[in-house]
Amino acid sequence: MERLIRTLLVEHSAADARLLFEALRSARHVHIDIRHVTDLESALRELRKGGVDLVLLDLTLPDEPGVRSVERTRTIEPSVPIVVLSAAAEESIAIRAVEAGAQDYLLKGEANAESVLRSIRYALGRARAEEAVREIESQAEQARKMETLGRLTTGIAHDVNNMLSAILGFTELAAQQIKPSHPAREYLDQVSVAGNRVAHLMRQILSFSRKQPVTPQVLNVNRVISDMHRMLRRLVREDIELIFSLPPGVPPIMADRGRVEQLLLNLVVNAGEAMPEGGRLAVETFHANLDEDKANRLRLTPGHYAVLQVRDSGVGMDSSERRRAFQPFFTTKPRGTGLGLSTVREVVRQLGGGIDLVSAPQQGACFTIYLPAFQDEERRDAVPAEAPPPGGTETVLLVEDEPDLRRLLRTMLGLLGYRVLDAANGTEAYQISQRYTGPIHLLLTDVVMPFMRGTELARVLMSERPALKVLFISGYAEGPAVEREVRFAGQAFLQKPFSTDELARKVRMTLDAAPAPSVGSPGPQ
């Protein structure tokens, strides 16, 4: 043992204490610092001060003899190992003390350098093993919490997202019919903001429990952030100055747009909550070429990265809070969920990136996200340009079991110019297809419905209408098996809730796409 072992000797007998001192002094290659006290109360005071690696505890103390002294010692500092000291006649008591939490016992009559050192080594090793077991048990408990959370989200996300889709969709349609100067417009905007925050929380939970499906594409990070300007400004209070710095030259990335949006939303919301009295919040991007040293520190590979940085002038974090910042359910906010930053870390991990946090009390916080640059030169500039929401005149078979949402989708599609046939379930949709003699260009269907799942309906209808395109919509994905199901044969997918613009673009993209492969089985469930 090369490191110093700070030992607290609790021994009432001066003669026995002297023998232990002599035994430890004669031990070679060991550095042991001994503090000696003669009663338990003095020992407990020393433990409260900290800096004790091991306790040598006599079981015949005047103020607390027997096993009770072990129990009280562990109450004060449960992680510090205890070696009990016992006379030979009291060996049975020493064994009971070990059962009460001591790591080992030492018979005073055998207290030579070799036996004392052996007992100390054993106690320290056993304490480390017990700590490792506790850590594993803690991780297992955390895993059980995550599994429970995952089951909870899959149970409620579908209904919540259906209701949100209806609320946000009808609010959007109403806002389109009212002039910006109308007094009711502000109220509708507030409904939209509140609904989007609920949708944002649902995305947090779904993403953290890994239930959120992804659609990777080549993205211009600056453009994604620019498109979110209005939403981000609504998410922070008026006493917070929100500044954007989006210089050219930031490389594109391959990522799911929703993941990147969620990443930025979480960081901005977290920063806003860290400035209860207002302040300055800066969102910046830049290009970084990481060398080997910097990449190793971030556990990344050297190379080019698109960097997203969010800095605030808020309350900041101390070293303990920084260490726990990304832990699930940890929060310093009175009303926080404890999922914001843990979701950020999970999203960054899913995107193959790294995250760096710099913060100090009353000096704000700076989160720097490194996302791998997309390297395919042929597609580096393939980021699609934004355009007005596209419409069309094709016939769409809409299948949605939630009446309010079905009505909303029928209205949205009608405003975009499409001819809409709507059904409440798969059986009704199949009957409509059988009766309708004209072409049906697109099947827009929910995945989870009574009587017949959307994927089963798609297989049946595509076997009878080979030119039919399919777009699945859903409020959740029940893990990898269902994600494979909704993506069978390369079919498109749109996560609820969504805006008219998102629906319009996805419908148009699906209709204009090349024919999908022949429909087969979605694979093992």
> For 328-345, how does the pLDDT look when each residue is reduced to its tens digit (9 = 90+)?
666 665 555 556 687 788
Can you give the pLDDT at residue 148? 67
- Regarding whether 400 and 364 lie in a shared domain, the answer is no
Q: Are residues 227 and 364 in the same domain?
A: yes
Q: Give yes or no: residues 356 and 410 share one domain.
A: no
Report if residue 424 sits inside a domain: yes
Decide if 238 is inside a domain.
yes
pLDDT digits (tens, 9 = 90+) for 395-414: 999 999 989 889 999 999 99
Q: What is the DSSP string of 241-255?
A: EEEEE--TTPPPEEE
Mean pLDDT of 410-426: 93
pLDDT of 380 reads 42
Tell whether the model's pLDDT for residue 438 goes beyond 80. Answer: yes
3-state helix, strand, coil in the chain (%, to 5): 50, 20, 35
Burial of 71 (0-12, 13-18, 19+ CB in 10 A): middle
If we measure between CA atoms, which residue out of 377, 269, 349, 260 comes closest to residue 308? Answer: 260
**241 occurs within a structural domain:** yes
pLDDT band at 1 (very low <50, low <70, confident <90, very high): very low
Judge whether 262 lies within some domain: yes
Residue 490 located in a structural domain: yes
Q: How confident is the model at residue 493 (pLDDT cuts 50, 70, 90)?
A: confident
Other CB atoms within 10 Å distance of the CB of residue 47? 20
Provide mean pLDDT across the span 450-461.
89
Asked if residue 97 and residue 229 are part of one domain, the reply reads no
| Most confident of the following: 153-167, 173-187, 511-525 | 173-187
Which one has a higher pLDDT value, 421 or 352? 421
Label residue 463 by pLDDT band (50, 70, 90).
very high
In this prediction, residue 90 has a pLDDT band, given cuts at 50, 70 and 90, of low
Looking at 379, 406, 425, which one is the last position of a domain?
Answer: 379
- Beta strands 4-10 and 54-58 are parallel
* Across 483-509, average pLDDT: 76
Q: By percentage, how much of the chain surpasses pLDDT 90?
A: 23
pLDDT tier at 27 (50, 70, 90 boundaries)? Answer: low
pLDDT at 67 over 90: no
Instruction: Provide the pLDDT confidence category of residue 59 given band limits of 50, 70 and 90.
Output: confident
Total count of domains within the chain = 3
Whole-model pTM: value is: 0.45
CATH number of the domain bearing residue 101: 3.40.50.2300
Cα–Cα distance for residue pair 22/61, rounded to 1 Å? 21
Answer yes or no: is pLDDT of 520 > 70: no
**Is the per-residue pLDDT at 5 higher than 90?**
no
Residues 406 and 433 sit within 8 Å (Cβ to Cβ)? no
* 358 and 244 share one domain: yes
Torsion angle of C-alpha atoms 158, 160, 162, 167, degrees rounded to 10? -170
Counting Cα atoms < 13 Å in the Cβ hemisphere of 154 gives 16
Residue 497, preceding peptide bond in cis (omega within 30° of 0): yes
Tell me the residue type at 8: L
* 289 part of a folded domain: yes
Highest mean pLDDT among 58-62, 138-142, 412-416: 412-416
On the 0-12 / 13-18 / 19+ scale of CB atoms within 10 A, 515 is exposed
Residue 254 pairs in a beta bridge with 218
d(CA 325, CA 317): 9
pLDDT band (50, 70, 90) for residue 378:
very low
Q: Residue 464: give the domain boundaries.
A: 395-512
Tokens at 138, concatenated: 């803690």
What radius of gyration, in Å, describes the C-alpha atoms of the chain?
32
| b/e per residue 216-230 (b: at least 16 CB within 10 A) | eebbbbbbbbeebee
**Which is more confident, 448 or 458?**
458
Of residues 100 and 339, more confidently modeled = 100
- Percent of the chain at pLDDT above 70? 81
Residue 385 binned pLDDT confidence (cut-offs 50, 70, 90)? very low
Residue range 496-503: mean pLDDT, rounded: 83
Could you write out the DSSP letters of every residue in 372-395?
Answer: EBP--GGGTT-PPPP-SPP----E
DSSP 153: H
How high is the pLDDT of residue 377?
Answer: 46
Q: What is the mean pLDDT of the chain?
A: 81
Q: Is the pLDDT of residue 160 over 80?
A: no
Residue 350 belongs to a domain? yes
Q: Taking CA 114 as the corner, what is the angle to CA 112 and CA 115, rounded to the nearest 5 degrees?
A: 70
pLDDT for the residue 98: 81
Q: Which stretch of 35-49, 141-155, 231-245 has the lowest confidence by average pLDDT?
A: 141-155
